């Protein structure tokens, strides 16, 4: 585990993320597709594998359209789920089998799988994401872009901006407590699966 910490510490740059989430209620998906002046829309299948049984907040992210996976440590800001840094590195999919062997030698061989169908709608200030089929159900997410973060600077100002954006579309967003309660309830019966499934089932 010490080796893993060193690898993450010396990996790619930190990416601060400030985001808000809420349930995708019946009929709300159309709200996002009616938005105007977006830069682009990207649809993909994404798999996130969480290592919930480890002291570090580790996860593997894999998008079907990309030639690599990401091995990430998420660090919360003041224990808030809405503000965090992600530190990690990329592994080409052709090398994933060898990477999983290294993790196994470090004692990491199981994870909690959460596949989703993901749609991202990009704007200059924010990115809306629709995630369907998740362990926690269908939900939406709005994240501040680097451009918005550099403009508003204060984390509280950015959060308020995201809240106004969501409220302006009539969306309900989860508070920190609501989201934690929903997450705990949704995941409580989910069992970990071997990481080898990543290679055998999802990447082949």
pLDDT (average), residues 131-150: 94
* pLDDT, the chain, mean: 88
Instruction: Please tell me the CATH code under which domain 2-202 is placed.
Output: 2.40.320.10
Residue 14: pLDDT band (50, 70, 90) is: very low
Contact 53, 33 (CB under 8 A): no
pLDDT (average), residues 188-192: 93
Quote the pLDDT of residue 12. Answer: 47
Handedness of CA 99, 190, 65, 14 (dihedral sign): negative
pLDDT over 80 at 4, yes or no: no
Structural domain boundaries in the chain: 2-202
Quote the pLDDT of residue 79. Answer: 61
Quote the pLDDT of residue 75. Answer: 75
3-class SS of residue 115: strand
Question: What gap in Å lies between CA 185 and CA 190, rounded to an integer?
Answer: 10
Residue pLDDT, tens place only, 151-179:
998 888 999 999 999 999 999 999 989 99
Quote the pLDDT of residue 19. Answer: 92
Quote the pLDDT of residue 62. Answer: 96
3-class SS of residue 8: helix
This prediction has a pTM of 0.87
Residue pLDDT, tens place only, 19-68:
999 999 999 999 999 999 999 999 999 999 998 777 678 999 999 999 99
Cα distances from 198 to residues 68, 146, 185, in angstroms, run 13, 31, 25
Question: What gap in Å lies between CA 150 and CA 74, rounded to an integer?
Answer: 21
Q: Which of 59, 91, 99 is nearest to 75 (CA)?
A: 59
Compare 100 and 153 and report the one with higher pLDDT: 100
């Amino acid at each position: 585990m010490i080796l893993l910490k060193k690898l993450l510490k010396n990996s790619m740059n930190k990416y601060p993320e400030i985001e808000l989430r809420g349930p995708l209620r019946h009929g709300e998906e159309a709200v996002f597709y009616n938005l105007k002046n977006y830069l682009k829309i990207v649809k993909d299948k994404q798999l996130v594998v969480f290592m919930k049984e480890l002291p570090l907040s580790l996860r593997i992210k894999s998008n079907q359209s990309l030639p690599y996976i990401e091995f990430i440590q998420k660090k919360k800001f003041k224990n808030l789920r809405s503000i965090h840094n992600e530190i990690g590195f990329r592994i080409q999919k052709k090398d994933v089998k060898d990477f999983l062997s290294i993790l196994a030698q470090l004692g990491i061989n199981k994870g909690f799988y959460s596949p989703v169908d993901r749609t991202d709608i990009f704007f200059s200030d924010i990115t809306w994401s629709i995630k369907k089929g998740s362990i926690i159900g269908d939900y939406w997410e709005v994240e501040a872009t680097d451009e918005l973060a550099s403009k508003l600077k204060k984390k509280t100002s950015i959060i308020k901006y995201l809240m106004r954006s969501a409220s302006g579309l009539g969306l309900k967003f989860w508070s920190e407590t609501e989201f934690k309660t929903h997450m705990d309830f949704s995941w409580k019966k989910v069992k970990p699966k071997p990481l080898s499934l990543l290679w055998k089932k999802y990447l082949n």
